[in-house]
Amino acid sequence: MQKMWMQGNGNFGYRRRYFRSEIKINTIYFVFLSLIRTFAHRNYSNIHTMMKKKGIKNLVCCSLLMAVVGTAAYAGKAQSNVITKMADGTYVVNTTTLASDVKGYRSTTPLKIYIKNNKVEKVEALKNQETPKYFVRVKNAILNKWNGKKVAKAMKQKVDGVTGATMSSDAVKENVKRGLDYYQKNK
């Protein structure tokens, strides 16, 4: 809604009238910025205090806050599941989140790399969207190339790709490289 008012030069102008909904939107914006700062400093306990101070009762704003909290919690949890240690001392490196930007022909090609006593036991392909006919060729030809090798030697090893499945082969090799590198840094 607009209200007419007189300008200093004698002309009439219009001044916007602010409603409560616009004030709530501004509050949401500033709370969201405060949340980003809070997460940047890893001080999660301030969220509840901040919500009380701002007096947020708007369902949309609360939903937004919960989405931000949930996303941050999921991102932290996802990175912690990259490497796990089994009861027999075998480390399992999962490249699903580690190499989420590495694409084959159609999509990502996540792997599980099993390492025991600093040797690669096996490399296992996880569910992916690659063309099954060609990815079977990649599995048969490439995945066993690292078996039995020390991690340092496996990282330096050059593996040839599969003809007709070059992009999938390159993605698998990059996943293994990143997985072994992550193991070296975080074992």
| Helices within 41-141 (DSSP H only) | 46-54, 59-80, 132-141
Q: What is the pLDDT of residue 57?
A: 47
Which residue ranges make up each domain of the chain? 21-80, 83-186
Q: What is the pLDDT of residue 74?
A: 46
Q: What value does the mean pLDDT take over residues 71-79?
A: 48
- For 50-60, the pLDDT digits (tens) are 555 555 544 44
Q: Considering the domain 83-186, what is its CATH architecture?
A: Alpha-Beta Complex (3.90)
Helix axes 59-80, 20-40, angle to 10 degrees: 20
Residue 34 has pLDDT above 80, yes or no: no
Confidence of residue 92 (pLDDT cuts 50, 70, 90): very high
Q: How far is CA 154 from CA 79, 104, 157, in A?
A: 23, 21, 5
Strands in 111-116's sheet, in edge-to-edge order, are 83-85, 91-94, 111-116, 119-125
- For 105-164, the pLDDT digits (tens) are 999 999 999 999 999 999 999 999 999 999 999 999 999 999 999 999 999 999 999 999
Q: Which residue's structure tokens are 């990059």?
A: 174
Residue 77 has pLDDT above 50, yes or no: no
Q: What is the pLDDT of residue 81?
A: 83
Distance CA 96, CA 78 (A): 9
Q: What is the pLDDT of residue 76?
A: 46
